[in-house]
Structure 1
């Protein structure tokens, strides 16, 4: 009987590399994607399906969450809040979506229990991220404990976060080494045709590629 990993996949580089690492570790991939009325929802969804097909996912879950649009409170889900383009700032940025990873992990736990998966994989990055509190290793570990307390006795899920202590340049190098189709991934917070190159996510991505000495294969308005 094959072992299964539920991989939360945004369509971005980090979650894609994480899924490829699980695949290479011998797991069948159950790909899970969330649409939550984010600005680049259409592009992220397209990227997810292309990547899930490329990795040979055993099953795909393409899930809609209307809650975040009603909640607002983030530049990613509220069109009245501008996505910052002036560079990374101290503290929690306005692109933080309240408790997003907690909600994603809870839904992924339900999928894992239903599918009999041993692992949930999430591509959080602690050191070189945008300062999101729900990307911290200590938080993810606490969610693992809560998930196992709140599921059937025979359900025993481990949350893997293989990139949590890496920097973006290390992630780029690892993605190249694992033959990740980086041209299929999308990181921009603002645009769906050409990446803007100036939002926090684009800046982190471009800086990572620069430090790794690798050319980013996706199109940009401004590099």
Structure 2
């Protein structure tokens, strides 16, 4: 444990699971947030599974107030999720206002409470245009705030902030990650829908990395 200096926000999706394996030697604690989205129940079990596999303690923090006070299609049921690519304007409806800011603030408090120094988050370059709280300038500002607002100077590490999801998939390929044990779909059904922005992005990333896509998609069932 002497080399463990970080907590990680781990959703159970491709990006955070890749970062979990990439940095596991430094990670003391994996934190998942249940904020009432359509897909939390599908992805959090994967976060738990991979943390356990790596011998990393995993906790789930309930943010069930968010659907009551926050406006986002991500919190309004599967039928509210738009279909299409992240480049499409309609995907902006999936933004949960300041979600990462809330999660990072909580994670920073947990890091300080456990004698740790860093909070890791797996936002990537493709997130920047649609999600304001994934952009490098936000992460830098938030890190400055947590550094100034904690006794040990907690810092936020976002190693993937300047690379694409395809690049992350390449990293996962090198690490031997089984991406079938991750979840992406925002609709949160029995299987991936194959049509929402996260499903489209998942397909493109796996193709880019030359990985066989073994994800079960709803569209393939028809």
Q: Do the aligned partners of residues 81 and 149 (structure 1) sit closer, same or farther apart at CA in structure 2, a change above 3 Å counting?
A: farther
Matched residue, 1:151: 150
Separation of aligned partners in 2, 1:13 and 1:4: 23
Q: Do the aligned partners of residues 115 and 142 (structure 1) sit closer, same or farther apart at CA in structure 2, a change above 3 Å counting?
A: same
Separation of aligned partners in 1, 2:72 and 2:80: 9
Q: Which has the higher helix share?
A: 2
Among 158, 166, 170, the residue aligned to 1:169: 166
- Structure 2: gaps spanning 5 or more residues: none
Matches for 1:1-223 after TM superposition, within 5 Å: 1-23=2-24, 26-57=25-56, 59-79=57-77, 82-88=80-86, 89-90=88-89, 93-127=92-126, 131-152=130-151, 155-222=152-219
Give the TM-score, by structure 2 length.
Answer: 0.91
Separation of aligned partners in 1, 2:155 and 2:78: 38
- In 2, are the aligned partners of 1:47 and 1:185 still within 8 Å (CA)? yes
Give the TM-score, by structure 1 length.
Answer: 0.91
Runs of 4+ displaced beyond 4 Å: none
Offset at residue 55 of structure 1 (A): 2.2
SS in structure 1 at match of 2:92: coil
Separation of aligned partners in 2, 1:131 and 1:46: 26
Q: Do the aligned partners of residues 221 and 54 (structure 1) sit closer, same or farther apart at CA in structure 2, a change above 3 Å counting?
A: same
- In 2, are the aligned partners of 1:91 and 1:131 still within 8 Å (CA)? no
Q: Do the aligned partners of residues 60 and 86 (structure 1) sit closer, same or farther apart at CA in structure 2, a change above 3 Å counting?
A: closer
- Structure 1: gaps spanning 5 or more residues: none
Q: Do the aligned partners of residues 176 and 129 (structure 1) sit closer, same or farther apart at CA in structure 2, a change above 3 Å counting?
A: farther
RMSD: 1.9
Separation of aligned partners in 2, 1:32 and 1:216: 27
